[in-house]
Every structure is written in structure tokens, then in C-alpha cells.
Amino acid sequence: MKKLLFITSLLIISFGCKLDSLKTDNPEKRQEKVNDFAIIIHGGAGTILKKNMSDEKEAAYKAKLTEAIKTGHSILKNGGTSQEAVLKTIQVMEESPLFNAGKGAVFTHEETNELDASFMDGKTLNAGAVAGVKNVKSPIELAIKIMTDSDHVMLSGEGASTFAKEKGLEIVAPNYFYTEKRFQSLQRIKNRNKTELDHDDKKAAFYDADIKNAKFGTVGCVALDKNGNIAAGTSTGGMTNKRWGRIGDAPIIGSGTYANNKTCGVSSTGWGEYFIRSQVAYDISAQMEYQQKSLKNATKDVIQNKLTKLGGTGGVVALDKNGNMAFEFNTAGMYRASMNDAGELILKIYKE
């Protein structure tokens, strides 16, 4: 009888401990998918204010963001891969002069356009990146080609262009990237810096306050396909008036782009130096993996707490393995959009 009571007691204790474990277990571990596939994009974050935006210009941004995200969503809906969705979505924005990527890239101090991009596959953790190219029409396509067709992760400058030519990517004349609006922006900044710094050593001239607070038009996309694979990509022209071959966060895996099927995918936009120092994209994934944080809490902590305390401005779009999506930024606005598996579109520009 005593033996029976002892066994019964053990069973009760064991069952009770299991119940307690279920109660205290992180809900993220038990969460089911909210979307079988999904896509989220950004077109840059910064001082984007309604009062400075004409109705015509606002409509143009919304139309292009809608075109871009629907391009990727259609691919995912029809069973395409997240890699293809990210590529085609970003290419729509690279070919628009509205964004600081591809055709609309900003100018360097030397009055050239130097383009950066990166891509990461969440299933394999393979990645590709390119920095400082001047004649490749689609930097995001080149980043993916580096991932798939080379033993390297990052190529830069003339070497990257040579690789692109060898792989049959479209090469354009450097003036393809010329837009009058971007060129005039450079002239205003150079003229102001010359006036303000004539009697100074001109150190860090391109890091002035206006540059810090101006909008950054970097574009990015994160997608989850029906096979559960996450991909993320980012493309940019960098910072207006950048010098000395400056490279920002966009081509840096872990800073501007990160994807891991165990956690999430992230694409960043903002003042790149701070995103590099903070390893923003990877930090979000790491908090989810090691601290069991939700996507919402991880992105909020990194952007609103850690990045802000360091002095960094910008934001991210992110999407987790369950199809949850997040926009997070600490600036006045961010061009952004998302679509879930039901085809519901969220399209926003300003802080709300």
C-alpha cells in the first residue's frame, strides 16, 4: 500500500511540474504560424514629414511601394522562393529615381555614384554583398550572384564590376544613375560645408547635422515563402557627399541585412556607421534566439533603446519565422509596406 501511495505521489508531482513548465514556458516557443507567407519592405527612414510632402510626391511614393511589394507578393503567392521575391521587389525600387538605390542613388563628394547591396538566405545562412560599384544596374542582383556563384561573401569596386561582367549581369554607363535632384542636393551640401568650414580643418565634413537628420532612401525587403524560408536584402547609394570609399551598413551582413530561419529576417535603413557599430540586424535575431524575445520586443529594444542611446537614427523592417512582421524606427518617418498571405496591404510613410 505504501509503495502504491509513493508511486502515485511521484506521478502527481511529475504532472504538476509539467503543468508549471507549460505555464511558465515562453509563449514564443508554442506560437503557431500567423502567415504561411509574407513580405515587408522599406524605402528609407529619416526626416519625412507630411508638411514637406506634396500630394503628388506622396502619391508617387505610395504607388511605387505598392508596385514593389505586390511584385514580391505575387511571386510568393504562386509558390516562388523568398530569394526571387526579394530580388524582384528590390529591383522595382532600384529602377525608380524616388529612392536612394540604383537609379536614384545619391552622389559622393567626387560627384559619382557608388552602390552597395547585400542579400542573405535564412535556410543556409549563405550571403552575398557588394560595395562601391559604379556601373552595375542592379546591385541586389550582383549581391545574390556573389552568393550563388563565388566562394566569397563580399566584393567591392572594380573587382565586383569585373565579376558582374563575367556573370552576364547588365552593365550600364555611370551616367545611368544621374538624377538632377540628387546632384543638386550634393551641391547644396558642399556649398554649405565650404562656407561653414572654410577656416576649419574640414574634418568629417560629410557628417554634419543636416546629413544626420536627412532622410535615407536605402531600400530593403524581407520575405517568407511557403516552404518556410526567409530571405532578406538591402540596396543603397549610401550617404550624400560620402568620401574616401566610405561603406555603410547596407552591404554588411549583420548590420544592414540578416536572415535566419530559426528566428527572423531584417533589413536596415539609417545612419550606417551606428548600425555597423551596433550590429543591428543580427542583434535582433540574437535576442530572439538567446533571450526568446518576440520580434516586436527585439526590434523595439534594438532601435528605440540600444541604437538611440548610441546616437543612431533609422529603422528596420523585419519578419519572423511565423510570419509576424514589424516596422520599427526612431525617425520622423519611414517609407514602408507589408502584405500577408491574405493579401492585406499596409502602406505607411509618416510616424503614427
Active site residues: 218
Q: How far apart are CA 118 and CA 53, in angstroms?
A: 30
**β-strands 154-156, 127-133 pairing:** parallel
Residue 343 in grid coordinates? 493579401
The secondary structure of 163-215 as a DSSP string is HHHHTT--B--GGGG--HHHHHHHHHHHHHHHHHHTTS--TTGGG-HHHHHS-
Q: How far apart are CA 47 and CA 350, in angstroms?
A: 9
The secondary structure of 312-336 as a DSSP string is --EEEEEEETTS-EEEEESSSEEEE
The 3-state DSSP class for residue 233 equals strand
Q: In what order do the strands lie in the sheet with 38-46?
A: 154-156, 127-133, 115-121, 230-236, 219-224, 38-46, 333-339, 345-350
CA-nearest of 246, 259, 279 to 319 is 259
Strands (E), 32-126: 38-46, 115-121
> Are the C-beta atoms of residues 52 and 349 closer than 8 Å to each other?
no
Q: How far apart are CA 294 and CA 1, in angstroms?
A: 49
